[in-house]
Amino acid sequence: ILNVEQSPQSLHVQEGDSTNFTCSFPSSNFYALHWYRWETAKSPEALFVMTLNGDEKKKGRISATLNTKEGYSYLYIKGSQPEDSATYLCAFKTGGFKTIFGAGTRLFVKA
């Protein structure tokens, strides 16, 4: 059974804090790892796609790293803002189109 775990489940930070969370996935049969940002009452929006071990991606204050050998990815947010409040989902893809989503990390940023 393929399992994708995200931790923590939820996170409360103050505006200006930097934060990070984890996505753990099976280290075998890896094809790609996606991060999505999902605001309440909206649809998931793609942040990053990572396919190679050691990949690092950055978009503004948000960045992500990938370790396929040990099966984890970190998402970092530098200087959190209230508008960063959302659920951050990771999705693990095996060969072909099998996609398994994590349960998400719900981030609350207080002004």
Residues that bind other proteins (CB under 8 A): 31-32, 34, 42-46, 49, 51, 89, 91, 93-99, 101-104
Q: Which is nearer to other proteins, 31 or 74 (CB)?
A: 31
Least separation in angstroms between residue 105's CB and other proteins is 12
How far apart are the C-alpha atoms of 10 and 12, rounded to whole Å?
A: 7
CA distance 29 to 94: 6
Nearer to other proteins, 71 or 104 (CB): 104
Residue 88 CB, nearest approach to other proteins (Å)? 13
Q: Which is nearer to other proteins, 8 or 103 (CB)?
A: 103
